[in-house]
A and B are shown apart, each in its own frame.
Chain A
Amino acid sequence: MIKNPTLSSEQGVRPPLVEQFTYDNVIVKNFAIASVFWGIAGMLVGLIAALELVLPEFGLWAGIGELSFGRIRPLHTNAVIFAFVGNGIFMGVYYSLQRLLKASMYSKALSNIHFWGWQSIIVMALISFPLGITTGKEYAELEWPIDIAIALVWIVFGLNMFMTMIHRRERHLYVAIWFYIATWITVTVLHVVNSLEIPFSWIKSYSIYAGVQDALVQWWYGHNAVAFFLTTPYLGLMYYFIPKAINRPVYSYRLSIIHFWALIFIYIWAGPHHLLYTSLPDWAQSLGTVFSIMLIMPSWGGMLNGLMTLRGAWDKVRNDPTLKFLVVAVTAYGMATLEGPLLSVKSFNALTHFTDWTIGHVHVGALGWNGFLTFGILYWLVPKMWKTQIFSVKLANAHFWIGTLGIIFYAVPMYWAGLTQSLMWKDFDADGFLVYKNFLETLLQIVPMYWMRALGGTLYLVGVFMMVYNLVKTAGAGSFEAYEQAEAPALEKDYEEKKGEYWHRWIERRPMQMLVASLVLILIGGIVEMVPTFMIKSNIPTIASVKPYTPLELQGRDLYVKEGCYTCHSQMIRPFRSETERYGEYSKSGEFVYDHPFQWGSKRTGPDLHRIGGKYSDSWHYQHMLDPRSMSPGSLMPAYPWMFERQIDVASTEARISAMQTLGVPYPAGFEKEANDDLYRQADAIVARLKADDIIDDETAAYIRDKEIIAMIAYLQRMGTDIKAEKTAGK
C-alpha cells in the first residue's frame, strides 16, 4: 500500500493539518434520477418515431402536426444526447470530481442552479420541438433563447467545476478530470460558434452562416457533439468507474495520458467527414478523412486501456453485472470508433452516406457506449450511495442480456437496410438505366428491417424498465448517505518544485492553464478549417443566376425547416451517375449562398429534393402533401393536413426579409415593405394553376390562398431551379 508522503512523520516533517469535509451525494442522486427519467422519455419518443416510419397512417399520430416524425425526431435525438447522456455526464462528474479532488463541490447553490437549469432547458425542448420551433440544424435545433439558457447553465457548471479544482486537496489532476475539462471548453466553443443566429422573433432565428459555410460549421459542431459530449466525458467516467468497480488501477496510466492528448487534438478536425462528396471544397473533405482515420489510434488505445484494466480479473465479469455493462460499453466504443474511420473513407462513405447505416452506427454508440456505461455506473453507484447491496443480481443480468439483444436487433437490421438500399440506388441495368427508378421501391424493400429495429428498441427499453425496478428496490432497502464524511490534508501552498517538473505542473496541475491550453488546441483546429473557407472566395463559386427566395418561397422554406423535412430528405445531389440519373444535375456550392440555414440533410428516408423544383405540377404536390399515398402508393411519408388549415404567418414576412437583408441577402432596399404584396401575387398564381387543374373549386381557392401549403409548394417548385435558368440563358 502506498502511503501519502505528506502524512508521514518520518524525516521530521510536521504532518499538515488534516481537514474534514463532505462529498455531496444529493446532487449526484438528482442527476442520476434525471438521467434515467429523461432516458426513458427519449427512448420512448425514439420508439414512437421508429413506428411512425412503418405505420405513417396509424391513428395515434397520423394527422397530428405536433407528433409528426419531422418534429419528434429532433426531440428524440436531443433528449437522448442532452437529457439522458447529459444528465449521465453530470451524475458521473459530480460523483467522481469531488472524490478525485478530495473536496466538496465549490457551491451547492451553483450545483442546484445547474441541475434545475438543465432540467428546465429539457422541458423547453420538450415543448418547443413538437410545436415546430427549430433552427433546422441537427442536434442544435433548439432556438436562440434556449441556446442562451444552455450557455448560461453550462457556464454555471464550468464555474462550479473549476472553482472546485482551485479548492482541491489533491495536487495531481487524475486523467478523468482532463477529459471533463476538455469537454467543458470544447462544448462551450462549439455551442457558441454554431448557435450564432439572427433572431427575428422570440421563437425564430436564421443561422448567420449560409450554405456550404453553414454546413461546415454545423458538422464541425455535429461531429464534435459526438466527440465532446458523447465521448470525452464518458471516457473520463470510464477512467474513473472501471478502476473503481473492479478495484484495480487502470491498465496503463501513461497510455491514458497519451489517449487524452491525442484524442482532443485529432477529434476537432474530423467534422468534414459528414460532408464527403458534397459541395464542400475537396481539401476540407480530405482533411476530415485523414484525421478521421488517424482517430482510430487514440480511440482504440483508450478502448484497450479500459478493457485491459480487467486483466487477470475477467472471472469477476462473470458474476458482476456492473462489469458486464462496462465491458460491453467499452467494446461498443471500440466498434463505433472502428466504424467511424471506415465510414470516413470516401469510397465507403459513397456507399453508406444518407442510408440507415449511419443510424445503426450512431445507435451502437448511443445504446452501447453511452447507454451501457450509464447503466453500469448506476448499478455500481446506487448500492454505494444507499449503502446496501443490489436488490437482484439476477434481474440486472437479465437487463444486461435483453439490452445486448436490443442493440443487436437494432444495429444489424440498420446495417443491412443501409447496404441494401444503397446498392439498389446504385443499380444499373445492362443498358445503363437505373433498375429501381422509383425511389419508393428501395424504401419498401427495407421495411422489414425497420420493424426489426423497432423490436430492438423495444427490447432495450424493456431492459431499462427492469433496471428502474431493480434500482428503486435497492434504494428502498438501503439508507441514502446524503453527505459523505471525508478527510484529507490541505494542499500545501508553498509546494517545493522538483527539478524538471515545472512544465508538467504548469500545464497539468493548474486547471486554468489547462483550460487555456485546451482552448488554444481546439481553436487552432477550428480556425484552420473554417477561416480559409470563409476568406477565400474561390471556394464558393458564385452563380449569377442564383437569386434570393421570394417572400412566399422563404415562408415555405421556413415551413420546410419547421416540419423537419430534413430529417428524411436531403438537398444534396452527389456527383455520382446513380444520383444525377435519378435526381438531376449534381449540387453546386454556389446554389446555396442564400440558404440560412443549409438543409442538405443527413439521411434519405425519402428521395433527395434538391432538383424537385419543376419536376411535378403544383397539383401533384398539393395532393401529395394532403395524402402522400394517393400519388405514391405505399409511401411512408406522413400526410400534412394541418398545412391546409394553418395560415402563413404573413405578419412576420417583413421581419424575415429584414433579417435576411442583415445577413447580406441582396433583396432591394425597401423590399421588405412590399414583401407581402409579392407573396400574395405568387400565391394567387399557384392557386390559379391548382384551379386550372381542377384540383380545387372556387370556394377552396379563396380559402387556401393564404394557407401554409401554398408557401410549401412555392418553395418546393423553386428548389434547385436557378441553375436551370443559367443553362437556358447560356444557350
Chain B
Amino acid sequence: MSAIVILIVLSLIVALGFLVAFLVAVKSGQFEDDYTPSVRMLFEEKIQNPNTYDQESHSEQRTGSETPLG
C-alpha cells in the first residue's frame, strides 16, 4: 500500500507544478498570440517566377493557397 501513497504524493506534486506553471504563463501573457499561427500556416511562399524575382512584388504574391479540390 505504501506504493500508492508515494504515487499520489508524486502525482499531486507534478500536477500542482504544472498548474502553477500554467497560471504563471497565462499571467505573464505567454499565450497572447494564440491565433495568427493558425492562419500563417495556410500561406505558402511559392515563387511564381523565380527569374524575375524582386522584393517589391514579393509581398503582393503572398496569397493564400489554392482552393481545395472539388
Contacts and interface: CB of A to CB of B under 8 A. Distances in A.
A319 B70 contact: yes
Given A316-B68, A320-B68, A528-B11, A485 B41 contact: no
B30 A248 contact: no
Contacts of A390: 69
Interface stretch (A1-9, A44-52, A141-149): A1-9
A257 B31 contact: yes
25 contacts: A4-B40, A4-B62, A20-B50, A20-B53, A170-B40, A172-B37, A243-B42, A247-B42, A247-B64, A247-B66, A254-B31, A254-B34, A257-B31, A283-B7, A287-B7, A323-B68, A323-B70, A484-B46, A485-B47, A486-B45, A487-B47, A488-B45, A500-B29, A524-B14, A528-B14
Interface in A596-637: none
A245 interface: yes
A393 B70 contact: yes
A302 to B, nearest CB: 14
A174 interface: yes
Given A172-B37, A500-B29, A504-B30, A487 B45 contact: yes
Nearest to B48: A485
B23 interface: no
B51 to A, nearest CB: 11
A666 B35 CA distance: 62
Given A2-B40, A249-B42, A500-B28, A528 B7 contact: yes
B69 A1 contact: no
A380 B68 CA distance: 8
B19 to A, nearest CB: 12
Contacts of A321: 70
A476 interface: no
Contacts of B25: 503-504
Interface residues of B, number: 44
B37 A175 contact: yes
B38 A249 contact: yes
Given A379-B69, A503-B30, 19 more contacts: A7-B58, A7-B59, A8-B59, A20-B50, A99-B41, A174-B41, A243-B41, A253-B34, A254-B31, A283-B1, A320-B69, A486-B44, A487-B45, A500-B28, A503-B24, A503-B28, A504-B25, A528-B11, A536-B2
B67 interface: yes
A501 B29 contact: yes
A263 to B, nearest CB: 13
A247 B67 contact: yes
B10 interface: yes
Interface of A: 1-4, 7-8, 15, 18, 20, 99-100, 102, 170, 172, 174-175, 240, 243-250, 253-254, 256-257, 265, 281, 283, 286-287, 316, 319-323, 379-380, 383, 389-390, 393, 484-488, 499-501, 503-504, 524, 528-529, 532-533, 536, 539
Contacts of A485: 46-47, 50
Contacts of B44: 99, 486
B54 to A, nearest CB: 10
A536 B33 CA distance: 47
Contacts of A20: 47, 50, 53
Nearest to B6: A532
A170 B7 CA distance: 41
